[in-house]
Amino acid sequence: MPETDPTIFVVDDDAAVRLSLMRLLRSTGWNAEAFASGVEFLERAPLSESGCVLLDVQMPGMNGLELHERMAEAGICLPVVFLTGKGDIPMSVHAMKQGAVDFLVKPVEEDVLFQALDQAIKRQLVEAVSRHHHDSIMARLIRLSVREREVLEQVLHGRLNKQIAYDLGIAEITVKTHRGRVMEKMEAATIAELVHLCDAVGFEIPQPGAEAG
């Protein structure tokens, strides 16, 4: 049985389809909410819950593909499974290129639907952990003072304490102090771990002499 914590957000303009899907999902243990249009769904924001969106394509006004794009623009990080009565290959290719988990055509076998939803929720959980890790590292970087950041950049270039002291015009003992604070604030036990943390968030290190170019 699926986890009960995640929510399946059903967006479909057909009232009968919405009702049928809600009954099916809830009868098998899913949390589910239904929306008659993309606008109604966006008005539900913020959508910070775990889960995914089960989205129709052919809807009046804003269609499903447009809603998917609007979700990305709005920072709504919920995976999408498309479920449509009328779909074609170009439409499905476009949806998958935009990051959809699956593109299903009505009527769909329950097992196929559940498999797609399960895959979407697993993806969302993995992405949520990744975002949390990224945000945690960025928060540590923000805690660094200007001088500590300068020392960090030098350390990542492999510079020794005496070299850093010369470059920054400060005492070597001061470099050691800043270096210790960098390791503490970044919660890194080793230089290798420090490098890994910075790489994980794409921390850009100014190249020596770059200004001269």
Q: How confident is the model at residue 209 (pLDDT cuts 50, 70, 90)?
A: low
Lowest-confidence pick of 48-52, 111-115, 169-173, 176-180: 48-52
For the chain, give the mean pLDDT: 89
Residue 4 in this model has a pLDDT that exceeds 50: no
In CATH, which superfamily holds the domain spanning 7-130?
A: Response regulator (3.40.50.2300)
pLDDT of residue 1: 39
pLDDT > 90? residue 207:
no
What pLDDT score does 146 carry? 95
What is the C-alpha to C-alpha distance for residues 124 and 112, in angstroms, rounded to an integer? 19
Residue 57 has pLDDT above 90, yes or no: yes
Question: CA 47 → CA 52, 77, 128, 166, 198, distances in Å?
Answer: 10, 8, 13, 51, 29
In sequence order, which ranges of 31-77 are alpha helices (DSSP H)?
38-43, 64-74
Percent of the chain with pLDDT over 90: 68
Closest by CA position to 113, among listed 10, 4, 15, 6: 10
Please give the residue that has the higher pLDDT: either 191 or 45.
191
Confidence of residue 2 (pLDDT cuts 50, 70, 90): very low
- The domain spans of the chain are 7-130, 143-212
Residue 85: what pLDDT? 86
CA distances from 151 to 167, 172, 202, 205 (A): 10, 11, 18, 11
Mark residue 12 as left, alpha or beta (left: phi above 0; alpha: psi -120 to 50; beta: remaining).
beta
Is the pLDDT score of 210 beyond 60?
no
Backbone angles phi and psi of 166, in degrees to 5: -65, -45
Q: What is the mean pLDDT of residues 124-143?
A: 91
| pLDDT (mean) for 146-167 | 94
* 160 has a pLDDT exceeding 80: yes
Please report, to the nearest 10 degrees, the dihedral formed by the alpha carbons of residues 97, 101, 106, 112 taken in order: 140
Architecture per CATH, 143-212? Orthogonal Bundle (1.10)
List the beta strands (DSSP E) in the chain: 7-11, 31-35, 51-55, 80-84, 102-105
Q: What is the pLDDT of residues 78-112, one digit of tens each?
A: 999 999 988 778 888 989 888 899 999 988 999 99
